[in-house]
């Protein structure tokens, strides 16, 4: 699986998103995928999201903060 983030330009080596919180991923097995966003400095969970991926596509995801 390849994961990248948007930080004014798409990067596959970035370890965190910019302030927008946008992430994208591709070359993922088709089907449901659950992701968790964490603050890199503390490990605090910021959000959780589930998406369904499809073959031969790229998927973008915005993590909304979860209580």
* pLDDT confidence tier of residue 8, bands split at 50, 70 and 90: low
- The arithmetic mean of pLDDT across residues 11-39, rounded, is 77
Task: State residue 32's pLDDT score.
Answer: 92
**Domain layout of the chain by residue ranges:** 2-62
The end-to-end CA distance of the chain, in Å, is 28
Task: State residue 16's pLDDT score.
Answer: 73
Are the beta carbons of 24 and 13 closer than 8 angstroms?
A: no
Per residue in 29-64, pLDDT (tens digit) is 889 988 888 887 898 988 888 888 888 887 777 766
Asked if the model's pLDDT at residue 1 lies above 50, the reply is no
Q: What is the DSSP letter of 29?
A: -
Cα distance between residue 17 and residue 65, in whole Å: 14
């Amino acid at each position: 699986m390849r994961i990248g983030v948007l930080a004014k330009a798409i990067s596959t080596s970035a370890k965190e998103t910019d302030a927008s919180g946008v992430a994208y991923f591709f070359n993922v097995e088709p089907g449901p995928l659950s992701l968790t966003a964490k603050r890199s400095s503390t490990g605090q969970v910021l959000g959780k999201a589930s998406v369904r991926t499809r073959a031969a596509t790229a998927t973008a995801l915005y993590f909304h903060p979860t209580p």
